[in-house]
Chains A and B, each alone.
With several copies, the nearest count.
Chain A
Amino acid sequence: MDLFEYQGKECLRRFEVPVPEGRVATTPDEAVAAARGLGGKVVVKAQVQVGGRGKAGGIKPAGSPEEAGDVASRILGMDIKGHTVKRVLVERAGDIRSEYYLAFLVDRSARMFLGLMSAKGGIDIEEVADTDPDAIARVHIDPAIGLSDFHARRLVFGAGIDHQARKGAIALIPPLYRAFVELDASLVEVNPLVLTGDGRVMALDAKVSVDDSAEFRHPSFAELKAAHDIPEQERRAKEKGLNFIKLEGDVGIIGNGAGLVMSTLDVVKAAGGDPANFLDVGGGAGAEVLSNALEVITSDRSVKSVLVNIFGGITRCDLVAEGILSALGRLDMEVPIVVRLDGTNAEQGRKMLADAPHPMLHAAETMLGAAARAVELAHAGGA
């Protein structure tokens, strides 16, 4: 889960990483109150999870509480690259002498944590990596032994951080690392890290991604998640325990296992079709899960046919068939469903479907055959 800037900063503040003082506002009035509480000049920042907010007009300074309200009223509701601004962060403004880059992430290849720092902050780090790779200091941190002081020095001296900012930067690294580890983050990225006019070093922006798998030890994740807008269909799917992503096409896809579903999308595309979604019922799905999956997919009017591609392992094909039959009985099914079953209890499952013929139900022998059939039916239905 990617956190909003204000969420990420709240998290970092708990680990004593210096961040500007700020408050979230969802209305212009709240923005006025926030600016009044902070006193002096403020910056009003659109809270959307997309780059280029500043250029799009989503970040504006304000010299007074009233101006903060005006600015907020213009930013709230704005559309930035398809994201509607529902909240702004009102932050105390400070003068900035230099901008740097600092991040911790998990380096999968090295199976270690990676710290990155650059004196070239405030811009896209991938651009820096492409044009001037030596401008980025990198240190690997063995998760077993953790961060030692020298890692911080290697980052700060290696990146050639300004003399005046060194001490503050070296001091900020251990708490940022602690936040990274203790939040179960896959990424904490501070861009820019700034040196202010009065010599302080702080995180002016913060991108924090946390690991959903670690929610069991972070009760606060649920709260953070609540602020995220999830499309209605995905939300309903998630409630039913389904891993669902909406796509643009008209062939609904249901499969078990992310790899098999991705492969199914590929073969549908190769057969000339356009997948309407990605839906992985996961391992060991029972009848109810399958029935729910069909319900979620067919609730989408753009879906013209559905392909159910199951290779049973931990999942039992007889239960899959039961779920399909239950959905057919329960729902007023208007689109054809192509079913391909293999693996654990496949024969039983196929027999159950054959024994209960339904006009919308089409059995297929192979994955490629099933894909071709589903595409053909979608085209026929759309015509």
Chain B
Amino acid sequence: MAILVGDDTRLVVQGLTGREGSFHGLRNRDYGTNLVAGVTPGKGGSDVEGVPITDTVAEAVKSTGANTSMVFVPPRFAADAILESHDAGIEVIIAITEGIPAMDMAKVVGYLRRGNGASLIGPNCPGVISPDKANVGIIPGEICRRGPVGLVSRSGTLTYQIVHELTQRGIGQSSCVGIGGDPIPGSDFIDILAKFEADDETELVVLTGEIGGDAEERAAAWARANMTKPVVAYIAGFTAPAGKRMGHAGAIISGSKGTAAAKAEALESAGIRVGRNPSEVAELVAEAL
């Protein structure tokens, strides 16, 4: 099964004619993802290495049956691109773009969540890979292998590190989902945990969090109440100084809330084992499987 992306994925890339969009879109195709179209207003009718370009997402949906979109447009156009995919009936929208204003996302995320049930992953995220099936985003496919572990993370490269540790130990992944570190993500830990809980292929979930906000604490409470599958966690930022903004907009500590220690405690008190570093996470997974 896997979640979000897989054999049924029919991908349209918004911004496929751009430098980054074409590089990663075609890389996703090389991985085996069914890339059916690109959207660039005004370039409809052309193609990128055989992938047809349309002017609107609606047209791509109509002419190619696209059901998943990857947003690779500049920040100022990204909220509009997400709304366009939603309006066109796209089911899974994966927004890679970094630097979208929080006001834009507050409006878009709230709107989508009250809408037709489409999933928005990101923005400012590495995407989703279901090894051997489909890769939508920038996660390097070669570090993954198919298997029973679902991963969900607010961080990109940290996810790679953990996937790498798992793969090196021979442990494969069902799907790896980067939800992004922005203040208002389209999907949060709970959304993805619920999908993994319902997924046949997933036997265990690794949750990778970081300082700031209370997403990990809420996920811990939710998992305790709703998860039957084991969860192993990692939190980055134990030694981050308070009040400093470290890259992700989410990574700000204020007072006692949102510290790595508080998050780890919340997870552990929900029965979730927390690794002290990425290697230890992989070891805990190996033990639990």
Contact = CB atoms under 8 A, between A and B. Distances in A.
Interface of A: 106, 108-109, 111-113, 126, 139, 142-145, 148-151, 153-154, 157-158, 166, 181, 184, 186, 211, 213-214, 216-217, 243, 245, 247, 255-263, 265-270, 275, 278, 280, 283-284, 311-315, 342-344, 366-368
**Interface residues of chain A: helix, strand, loop or mixed (majority):** mixed
Contact of A259 (B100, B111, B153): B153
Contacts of B44: 157
Contact of B110 (A111, A151, A261, A342): A111
What are the 6 A-B residue pairs with the smallest beta carbon separation, nearest first?
A259-B155, A258-B247, A257-B157, A259-B158, A150-B84, A214-B101
A177 B30 CA distance: 43
B107 A145 contact: yes
Contacts of B233: none
B102 interface: yes
B270 interface: no
Contact of A366 (B80, B276, B279): B279
Interface stretch (B1-9, B210-218, B224-232): B210-218
Contacts of A106: 102, 106, 183-184
B91 interface: no
A112 B276 CA distance: 33
B117 interface: no
Interface in B20-59: 20, 24, 41-42, 44, 55-59
B112 to A, nearest CB: 10
Nearest to A267: B277
Contacts of A126: 255
14 contacts: A109-B214, A142-B111, A143-B106, A150-B57, A150-B83, A158-B58, A245-B244, A259-B156, A259-B236, A262-B210, A262-B236, A263-B161, A312-B140, A343-B157
A313 B103 contact: no
Contacts of A213: 75, 99-102, 249
B241 interface: yes
A158 B84 CA distance: 14
Interface of B: 20, 24, 41-42, 44, 55-59, 75-77, 79-81, 83-84, 87, 98-103, 106-107, 109-111, 113-114, 126, 138-140, 143, 153-161, 164, 181, 183-184, 208, 210-211, 213-215, 218, 234, 236-241, 244-251, 255, 260, 276-279
Nearest to B211: A262
A270 B156 contact: no
Contact of A261 (B107, B140, B247, B249): B247
Contact of B106 (A111, A217, A257, A275): A111
Contacts of A283: 98, 138, 156
Contacts of B218: 109
B110 A142 contact: yes
Given A258-B210, A258-B247, A367-B161, A214 B126 contact: no
Given A106-B102, A148-B84, A368-B277, A263 B138 contact: no
